[in-house]
């Protein structure tokens, strides 16, 4: 049976408004408390985003690269008497990597823990912005992660405490495409590098999180073939 012919010379495979697109400059990365429940849940986060992310998360600048990956453990089973196979899905492990240029002010690890506040001796860590996270002195830090703007000591017990990461996406027309919150983020690895001819200092961090939670903020309706007649 012949396949229905497709006019590849005159039609696109998928039609959309090519004047609208997402790019690196239209995606914000911000850091806040470990879970959305700390600020009242996903609905509360969506309401606060209408007034800017700084109400519960602080935006992080100078980021050069962001990679978010997810892997699901799949078990493949065969059976005696058959050539076929079936799968049993396992757990999903999300991971994040960030690359950043250090210019001045807070380092990457300091910016990630912007919401965190520890006002008890021996190590006092002030929050970097007034936030409404319902986490009061989550841990009495003993080993300093650093002081003031520079946090580099991953051995600090502060890094045994998680943070959250917000990704907020818009298109080239400033329409909201969506938002995600990475909950329970832990820094797995940190790198700072330069050499004798470096103009800037480069920072990077590898992060694992417990889950990725969607925030219902989209102002762009689902794009379907019904909305794109040229694609039918």
Instruction: List the domain boundaries for the chain.
Output: 24-78+86-231
**pTM of the shown model:** 0.89
When pLDDT is averaged across residues 215-231 and rounded to a whole number, the result is 70
The CB density around residue 179, as the number of other CB atoms within 10 Å, is: 24
The two tokens of residue 178 are 């969506």
Does residue 94 surpass a pLDDT of 90? yes
For 19-39, letters b (16+ CB in 10 Å) and e give eeeeeeebebbbbbbbbbebb
Q: Is the pLDDT of residue 227 over 70?
A: no
Q: DSSP letter at 39? A: G
Mind listing the pLDDT tens digit for each residue in 3-39? Answer: 888 888 888 887 777 788 888 889 999 999 999 998 8
Q: Which two tokens stand for residue 97?
A: 């990597």
CATH 1.10.530 is held by the domain 24-78+86-231: no
């Amino acid at each position: 049976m012949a396949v229905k012919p497709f006019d590849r010379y005159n039609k696109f495979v998928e039609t959309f408004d090519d004047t609208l697109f997402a790019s690196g400059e239209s995606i914000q990365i911000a850091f806040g408390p470990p879970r959305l429940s700390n600020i009242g849940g996903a609905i509360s986060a969506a309401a606060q985003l209408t007034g800017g992310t700084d109400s519960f998360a602080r935006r992080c600048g100078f980021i050069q690269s962001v990679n978010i990956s997810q892997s699901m453990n799949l078990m493949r089973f065969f059976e005696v008497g058959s050539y076929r196979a079936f799968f049993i899905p396992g757990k999903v492990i999300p991971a994040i990597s960030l690359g950043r240029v250090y210019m001045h002010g807070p380092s990457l690890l300091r910016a990630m823990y912007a919401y965190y506040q520890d006002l008890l001796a021996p190590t006092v860590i002030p929050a970097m912005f007034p936030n409404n996270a319902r986490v009061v002195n989550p841990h009495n830090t003993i080993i300093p992660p650093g002081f003031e703007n520079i946090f580099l000591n991953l051995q600090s017990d502060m890094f045994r405490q998680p943070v959250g990461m917000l990704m907020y996406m818009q298109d080239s027309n400033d329409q909201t495409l969506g938002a995600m919150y990475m909950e329970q983020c832990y820094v797995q690895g940190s790198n700072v590098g330069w050499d004798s001819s470096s103009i800037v200092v480069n920072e990077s961090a590898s992060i694992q999180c417990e889950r990725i939670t969607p925030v219902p903020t989209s102002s762009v309706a689902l794009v379907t073939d019904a909305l794109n007649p040229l694609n039918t």
